[in-house]
Structure 1
Amino acid sequence: MKKQTIIIITVLTAGITASFLIWNLNSVPAITYFPTDKQTSFEYANTNLDMLSEKTVDTYEVLWNISSKSDRTLYLRQDASLLFVNGVLRGIRSKWEEDTAGIEIKEKLSGEDSSYFQSISYHHGEVHYPDDRIKSIHTMTYDQLYVIDSPNTPLESFKVPKDDYETQWSTLLIHTTHQQLLYSWKQLINHFQINNESYLAVPLTRLYKYNHEPLPSFTQDQTNQIIGQLWEGLYKNYILTAKNIEEGEQLNSYIPIILFDKQNKHLIVLYELNGEKHRLIQQYPDFDD
């Protein structure tokens, strides 16, 4: 009982000392959705979170790695990734290159205390054809990492629990994170007076499942277009806005929630940046042939 109490107190009071990671995005072009190119694909796309080592007695290092490669050189390749720790935004990375196939981003960050790391990435490529025809490819990847930093046990990490001990820890970390997120999302829904029963609610970190699972009442191709245009809006309104927050000011933001209209007309993105509540509404498109 005493050990359980220590575990709960440790999680509830956990602080993350990871530096807030926002890439200098001044020269990064906007992500723009174009009709899907059926002749081009990704050879691979990955997001990986791994604990490297115990940095000091009180801290550890985590490697955040994003990589992707298209099956041929494209006019423009771009990857964007978001990292959340215990549901709180702790990093944004974006990289673009012209006339290339591959993109790789690596970042080390320090953390302390038991934590639940989640990262979702959007991998994008523009394919330019003669007569100014432009098409695109895109996919999403996700990874998670549980780090257990308890005073009574050795430091350890895992992605999927393999025994009762890890299952108890993952359940505790997910529960405390989810309770915090539910409170944040409820505040946003009430603020904008949204009837949540009219929407399918999906956290941003769960969007990757729609790589191969269509949204209700839509085909996979239509879903791909909805998600592609959603990321176009997320990049412009969430990622770049977060970057533009005054330098030196600590950024506070939880995982955004995506609301898909059950009448199949539009979607809403709800998020908060440093106490300011935002709502992004996107009408569903006229779908590509």
Structure 2
Amino acid sequence: MLRLINDHFFKIAITALALAIILSFTSLSSWKSMDEVFIFFPEDEHIFFREAKTNLDLLSKKDNDEYILQWSFASETNEPAFLRSDLSIMFENGAFAAAKKQSLKDQLFIEGVESYDGEDSGRFDVITFHHAETHYEEDIYRSKHAWSQDQLYVVDSPFSQLHAFKEPSSDDESRSKQVLDSIIDQQLSYELDELVEEFQIDVDEYHLFTLLDLPQYMHLPLPGMTEKESFATVGQLWEGFYRYYVLGINTFTEETYSPRGNSIPHILLHKDGTHLLLLYKTKDGSKQQLFQMINKDEDMTYQDSIN
């Protein structure tokens, strides 16, 4: 199985060891720029999110087949952080459609509002990663993150007026939801079958998730992990995900491409807790894989240095 090696990882390795960063994504070349990455640091127990939310609504109709969605996200920490960065990602019918990033320094509140042009009936999923990076004396760096998400069904039919819902309130809406969910679920299942065949993976050895499942583990540990291990695993997962998936960099060739149309990523966590895989397909059918080692020997004493 191909293991990707990232030169950037080595650039931050000395800092990572000192800060007890326990996981790493590997790839073949350096990161484009530090402004384009999320960097995981050990969890800061002094800071927390008072609020983290994402919202998606039907804003207006453009013509017979097109409409505009309003997509917003916001988060607030209990105290200002050196760097606040929220990244919100939209999927349309199971494929990557758009992303919005908002970053501010020395702030506790951050928000973003975006419009999105849609066409025909569909299911829209938005997931937002809310991130805070804190700095202390003696070059001590910490982080905190939270998740939020929203989902919207849009029905554009010649037999009814354009409308949207989050939870069905009629038999017609229930049928529309069932049809859209079934199509997307079948698509995800088919893509997973192709990916595990391509990379010769025994799925019985893994816990299976998609990216959309991650928010449920904000307050619950991943299988076989403590809460701190889960925090570190997800933080490092987001580093690689943003670098390759969102920015559109081929995990094998390092060539750039438009990420629009990427499939919803599958996350495979090995049952022995040693590693996880991030698998997805690009719009042109290219199969992508990221491999992340998991080291559970985290130094649990780092928090004492900033008390």
TM-score range, shorter chain: 0.7 to 0.9
Q: Is the 8 A contact 2:96 2:259 kept in 1?
A: no
Equivalent position of 1:4 in the other structure:
none
- Structure 2 CA distance for aligned equivalents of residues 181 and 42 of structure 1: 32
Equivalent position of 1:14 in the other structure:
none
Is 1:58 equivalent to 2:65 in the alignment? yes
Structure 1, residues 20-52: CA drift from partner, whole Å, max 9, x if none?
Answer: xxxxx9773411111111110112111111111
Amino acid at match of 1:280: L
Q: Is the 8 A contact 2:82 2:105 kept in 1?
A: yes
Is 1:281 equivalent to 2:288 in the alignment? no
How does the TM-score come out when normalised to structure 1?
0.86
Superposed, which structure 2 residues align to 1:1-289 within 5 Å?
28-241=35-248, 245-246=256-257, 251-273=260-282, 274-285=284-295, 286-289=297-300
- Structure 2 CA distance for aligned equivalents of residues 218 and 34 of structure 1: 18
Q: Find the residue that maps to 1:92 and give its secondary structure.
A: strand
Q: Is there any run of 5+ residues in structure 2 with no aligned partner, and where?
A: 1-31, 301-307
Q: Find the residue that maps to 1:34 and give its secondary structure.
A: coil
User: CA shift at 1:76, angstroms?
Assistant: 0.6
- Structure 2 CA distance for aligned equivalents of residues 150 and 287 of structure 1: 54
Q: Is the 8 A contact 2:133 2:141 kept in 1?
A: yes
Amino acid at match of 2:72: N
**Higher mean C-alpha displacement, 93-102 vs 105-114:** 93-102
Q: Is the 8 A contact 2:275 2:294 kept in 1?
A: yes
Structure 1, residues 74-94: CA drift from partner, whole Å, max 9, x if none?
Answer: 111111121111001101222
User: CA shift at 1:60, angstroms?
Assistant: 1.1
Distance change >3 Å, CA 47–CA 225, structure 1 → 2:
same
Structure number with higher relative contact order (C-alpha < 8 Å, ≥ 6 residues apart): 2
User: CA shift at 1:163, angstroms?
Assistant: 2.9
Q: Find the residue that maps to 2:247 and give its secondary structure.
A: helix
How does the TM-score come out when normalised to structure 2?
0.81
- Structure 2 CA distance for aligned equivalents of residues 147 and 129 of structure 1: 46
Q: How many residues align?
A: 263
Structure 1, residues 195-214: CA drift from partner, whole Å, max 9, x if none?
Answer: 01111110111111110221
Distance change >3 Å, CA 39–CA 27, structure 1 → 2:
closer
- Structure 1 CA distance for aligned equivalents of residues 74 and 223 of structure 2: 30
Structure 1, residues 157-204: CA drift from partner, whole Å, max 9, x if none?
Answer: 111122322211111100011111211121111100000111111011
Q: Is there any run of 5+ residues in structure 1 with no aligned partner, and where?
A: 1-24
Distance change >3 Å, CA 227–CA 27, structure 1 → 2:
closer
- Structure 1 CA distance for aligned equivalents of residues 181 and 241 of structure 2: 25
Q: Is the 8 A contact 1:252 1:275 kept in 2?
A: no
RMSD of Structure 2 on Structure 1 (CA): 1.9
- Structure 1 CA distance for aligned equivalents of residues 299 and 217 of structure 2: 18
Q: Is the 8 A contact 2:55 2:150 kept in 1?
A: yes
Q: Find the residue that maps to 1:99 and give its secondary structure.
A: strand
Amino acid at match of 2:277: I
Q: Is the 8 A contact 1:84 1:255 kept in 2?
A: yes
Q: Find the residue that maps to 2:273 and give its secondary structure.
A: coil
- Structure 2 CA distance for aligned equivalents of residues 161 and 28 of structure 1: 41
Q: Is the 8 A contact 2:220 2:227 kept in 1?
A: yes
Amino acid at match of 1:265: T
